[in-house]
Amino acid sequence: MNSQDIRVEVHPGPGDVILLRLSRPQQRNAMSVAIVADVLNLLGSTAGQAAGAIVIVGEGRGFCAGSDLTALAGMDMPERSVFEADCGRLARALTAHPCPVIAAVHGFAIGGGLTLAAACDIVVSTADAKWSLPEVQIGLFPAWGLEAVTMRAGRTRARRLSFGIDTLSGAEAAEAGLVDLVADDPLGEAMAIAGRFAALPLGQVAAVKNYFAVERQGEEADRHANRLFIAACDSDQARVSFQRFGRNGSPS
């Protein structure tokens, strides 16, 4: 990595679990240019592409407070546009990444912190964490990641959240679809889930992510699922399963 804004730990296993810590606790882990670049570099790296799962957590009092407004205030308009576009590219990269990404949220997921978490495959949160999109209140707009929020919460709820009139608890965020699991120890729960993912065949897990990365409907959805199924059938794991079924007529 090129900065000290994130810390990366690799937990070896059948598929390595990468723990990515947002490491700007004094700035409430607000997203800097360096954080965005470093996370994108990690996702594109050989280790990142081969991981069994990635867990993202924030150091200090919360997950992430969104974009660094102090840094944005010092940028000119083209620089702000580029930074927000890069944040959007990060959200899309999380969705398109071949391995599952899990967000472990405590304290708060605010603004870009909310959209960053929403772009992950699994979100674990404490019941009392604060979730909000406050950009409109300060004269701005939630510039990236709203597609992920809409996919999770639906268009009507995503629009209401984007107005910034609601602050949800982690429990309420779960009811809204932003959070998958509520836990007292979100990092511990996230690491346990990551371990289960990492024990699965990586190619088949990547196929599930591939299918859901783009919304398809009707026959095209079935055709794409069929393509992924045929590719999976050519894997070593599938051949072993077919041999076992062929001998015994059952998986046991």
**Is 102 in the same domain as 178?**
yes
**Is 187 in the same domain as 229?**
no
Biggest alpha carbon–alpha carbon distance for the chain: 68
138 found inside a domain: yes
**Is 224 in the same domain as 108?**
no
Per the structure, how many domains does the chain have? 2
**Is 37 in the same domain as 97?**
yes
Q: pLDDT tens across 131-177, in order? A: 999 999 999 999 899 999 999 999 999 999 999 999 999 999 999 99
209 found inside a domain: no
205 found inside a domain: no
What CA–CA distance (Å, rounded) separates 237 from 207?
14
Q: pLDDT tens across 4-44, in order? A: 999 999 999 889 999 999 999 999 999 999 999 999 999 99
Tokens representing residue 111 in the block:
């603004």
211 found inside a domain: no
**Is 228 in the same domain as 148?**
no
Q: pLDDT tens across 149-161, in order? A: 999 999 999 999 9
**Is 96 in the same domain as 63?**
yes
**Is 107 in the same domain as 232?**
no
Q: pLDDT tens across 81-111, in order? A: 999 999 999 999 999 999 999 999 999 999 9
Residues 6+ apart with CB under 8 A from 93: 40, 43, 44
Q: Which domain does 227 fall in, by range?
A: 216-248
